[in-house]
Structure 1
Amino acid sequence: MRNKIPAVIIFCMVFATIFPNACGPAFAAKQRYIYGIGGVVKPSVDDKRPVNTAERSGTLAELAKDYPEYFKVKGSDSLKQVALTFDDGPDDQYTAKILDILKKYDVRATFFVVGWRAKARPDLVRRMVKEKHVVGNHTYSHRELSWGSLYQFQQQVLSTQSAIKPSAGYAPKLLRTPYGAINEKQLKWAGAAGFVVIFWNVDSLDWKQLSPAQVSGNILRAVQPGSIILEHAGGGGGQNLSGTVNSLPHIIVTLRSRGYRFVTVPELLHIPKQK
């Protein structure tokens, strides 16, 4: 469930619609929200995901420029390397199938796991590490946190560290926030706490329960050297990610035929090995 939006923010949004300059740059500077490869996150009553609007353009680039040491969207374009990343696992239906395919094709990936799921399926987290994948933090309960307090954000991240470490053998340095939503204060805390916040520049849109051809097309049309590719290894209740699973062999074979090499996020971004 989405956090309640502070009344002052709602008031300012409505007031600013009528009087565009009323809130001024001082308010705008405090509300730098980002979502994936877009920008400003706006609340949505009917949608479970933040609304995608044209207003987002530029925000992501600004934060990547302001905090390049711990806010990453892609790797270098000088080498034909890409990183497959999988969010929302481990789950009972799809994670093991994805791991089976990666093992068959000798591909290493990066899994951003949800804390309560890591605690429920430590065997799958151990398997990820055993098969030389990298495990990252995707918060404990997969809530949209950018509108909440810094304390809530910290607790979601730190409790996930505690949930992952017993089975992974390390507390991750990599962090990806649910829905790609984060505010500047949260981002600064994450960097100071030693995290590297990982976004993406290729979105499979597999969460829409697309067909294998659609998932493949979304990835293969957009991939460039240094791409970080977003997919999912776990779904919500009743969510069908068979398109993700069934498209994976084709994606791997096609990109290799184009000369690409699959690497983990730390390899792509030259981040020191997880400990």
Structure 2
Amino acid sequence: MKMIKNNNEKRIYMKKGNILILIILLILSGILGYNINSKIKSNTNVKKESVKNMNNGDLVQQEKTLPKKEEREVYDILGKSNKLTTNQWKAMEQWRSDVVKLSKENKEEVYTNGYNKEKMVALTFDDGPDSNITPKIVETLTQYNVNGNFFFIGEKVWKYPSVVEKAYKEGNLVLSHSYNHVELNKLSEGKIKNEMEKGEEEIFNIIGKKPSLIRPPYGAIDKNVIEAAKSEGNKIILWSIDTLDWSQMEKENIQKNIIDNLRPGEIILMHSNEDKIATLEALPDIIMAIKEKGYEIVTLDKLLNVEAYK
């Protein structure tokens, strides 16, 4: 009986011992589990914080690298001719004042000049193409390793397709000067759009692209022309320097109007039609003088940071 009692006591002690060990193990596992979870949470928080910091860093970096929209000062339009009468000058001064005002009010739609910080300018040529002057101007630009911007009249484009194609293939912009070279501000909305569309279509038939930059003939614009251009996906390009090569057809005066007035972002108006021999003769000296002043001659899409074609 004593042995049985002793054996029973041993079993009880063993059970108690096992229970005690189990309790100790449970306590230890709880402590370890807490520490592990704490570490996991801590690491997770660190990772989250790291991601958060990285994201914040990325955002800060992104904000730093996003280009800021540069302000564009609208210049007064410059250029003189001693061949204009007093009344002609008064009319021109009034026109210049009016279009500068319109450009200031519609900066994303009407451009008289480009941005003012970088020393870049654009040479533009109206009223072509023809069989003589336009091809020679293209050749001169190529010879001096620069590109120009040709605003061609639609009804002339189909007559001289090889000239248009050559101008385009040499890296120049081929743009619209309307179809019939009429004052758009004297037309109805429908006729304004028709002039724009027909001019673009003639260019498209040759180069396979429709221009999105248009120069209304004579710079004749008003709010109706601006709205029509906008609805057609076009931007209006005027000028900040008028060489007046159509008035005072003298090489020296054409050069003087450019070189004496040069500012960053200039859009320079010249012509490339049949009687502009003086413009052609002046062009090499104009290009060299512009470069000597530290300016780069560029196309309008680069000068204005816009798309040239649709």
Normalising to structure 2: TM-score of the pair?
0.69
Once the two structures are TM-superposed, the CA of residue 53 in structure 1 deviates from its matched residue by: 5.0
Q: Are the aligned partners of 1:89 and 1:234 in contact in 2 as well (CA < 8 Å)?
A: yes
Q: Are the aligned partners of 2:214 and 2:237 in contact in 1 as well (CA < 8 Å)?
A: yes
Q: Are the aligned partners of 1:78 and 1:225 in contact in 2 as well (CA < 8 Å)?
A: yes
The reply on whether 1:259 has 2:294 as its aligned counterpart is yes
Higher helix share: 2
Instruction: Give percent identity, aligned residues only.
Output: 33
Tell me, what secondary structure is at the counterpart of 2:194? helix
| Residue correspondences, number | 227
**Equivalent residue for 1:176, pick from 215, 232, 236:** 215
Name the amino acid aligned to 1:172.
P
Once the two structures are TM-superposed, the CA of residue 191 in structure 1 deviates from its matched residue by: 1.3
Q: Are the aligned partners of 1:209 and 1:243 in contact in 2 as well (CA < 8 Å)?
A: no
Once the two structures are TM-superposed, the CA of residue 252 in structure 1 deviates from its matched residue by: 0.4
Tell me, what secondary structure is at the counterpart of 2:150? strand
Once the two structures are TM-superposed, the CA of residue 129 in structure 1 deviates from its matched residue by: 1.3
Distance 1:161 1:55, change over 3 A: closer
Q: In the alignment, which residue of structure 1 is the partner of 2:177? A: 138
Tell me, what secondary structure is at the counterpart of 1:84? strand
Q: In the alignment, which residue of structure 1 is the partner of 2:193? A: 154
Once the two structures are TM-superposed, the CA of residue 223 in structure 1 deviates from its matched residue by: 1.5
State the alpha-carbon separation in 1 of the partners of residues 305 and 185 from structure 2. Answer: 28
Q: In the alignment, which residue of structure 1 is the partner of 2:233? A: 194
Tell me, what secondary structure is at the counterpart of 1:120? coil
**Which deviations, in whole Å up to 9, do the C-alpha atoms of 1:126-177 show, x marking residues without a partner?**
1111111011110111112212212221111111111110112200000001
Name the amino acid aligned to 2:208.
G
Q: Are the aligned partners of 1:209 and 1:241 in contact in 2 as well (CA < 8 Å)?
A: no
Distance 1:110 1:67, change over 3 A: same
Distance 1:134 1:55, change over 3 A: closer
State the alpha-carbon separation in 2 of the partners of residues 156 and 50 from structure 1. Answer: 29
**Which deviations, in whole Å up to 9, do the C-alpha atoms of 1:57-91 show, x marking residues without a partner?**
64223311221111111111101100000001111
State the alpha-carbon separation in 1 of the partners of residues 250 and 89 from structure 2. Answer: 23
- 5 Å-filtered alignment, 1:6-45, equals 37=77
Q: In the alignment, which residue of structure 1 is the partner of 2:21? A: none
The reply on whether 1:102 has 2:128 as its aligned counterpart is no
The reply on whether 1:244 has 2:283 as its aligned counterpart is no
**Equivalent residue for 2:264, pick from 225, 229, 237:** 225
- 5 Å-filtered alignment, 1:50-89, equals 52-56=91-95, 58-89=97-128
State the alpha-carbon separation in 1 of the partners of residues 89 and 255 from structure 2. Answer: 24
Segments of 4+ in structure 1 off by > 6 A?
Answer: none
Once the two structures are TM-superposed, the CA of residue 209 in structure 1 deviates from its matched residue by: 5.1
Tell me, what secondary structure is at the counterpart of 1:205? coil
Q: Are the aligned partners of 1:144 and 1:179 in contact in 2 as well (CA < 8 Å)?
A: yes
Tell me, what secondary structure is at the counterpart of 1:82? strand
Q: In the alignment, which residue of structure 2 is the partner of 1:272? A: 307
State the alpha-carbon separation in 2 of the partners of residues 221 and 147 from structure 1. Answer: 34
Once the two structures are TM-superposed, the CA of residue 54 in structure 1 deviates from its matched residue by: 4.5
Tell me, what secondary structure is at the counterpart of 1:252? helix
**Structure 2 segments unaligned to the other structure (5+ residues):** 1-75, 79-86
Tell me, what secondary structure is at the counterpart of 1:206? coil
Q: Are the aligned partners of 2:127 and 2:177 in contact in 1 as well (CA < 8 Å)?
A: yes
State the alpha-carbon separation in 2 of the partners of residues 50 and 186 from structure 1. Answer: 24
Name the amino acid aligned to 1:59.
D
Q: Are the aligned partners of 1:37 and 1:60 in contact in 2 as well (CA < 8 Å)?
A: no
**Structure 1 segments unaligned to the other structure (5+ residues):** 1-35, 39-46
**Equivalent residue for 1:205, pick from 244, 249, 261:** 244
Moved more, 60-69 or 199-208: 60-69
Q: In the alignment, which residue of structure 2 is the partner of 1:128? A: 167
Q: In the alignment, which residue of structure 1 is the partner of 2:202? A: 163
Tell me, what secondary structure is at the counterpart of 2:230? helix
State the alpha-carbon separation in 2 of the partners of residues 136 and 170 from structure 1. Answer: 10
Once the two structures are TM-superposed, the CA of residue 218 in structure 1 deviates from its matched residue by: 1.2
Tell me, what secondary structure is at the counterpart of 2:279? helix
Name the amino acid aligned to 1:158.
E
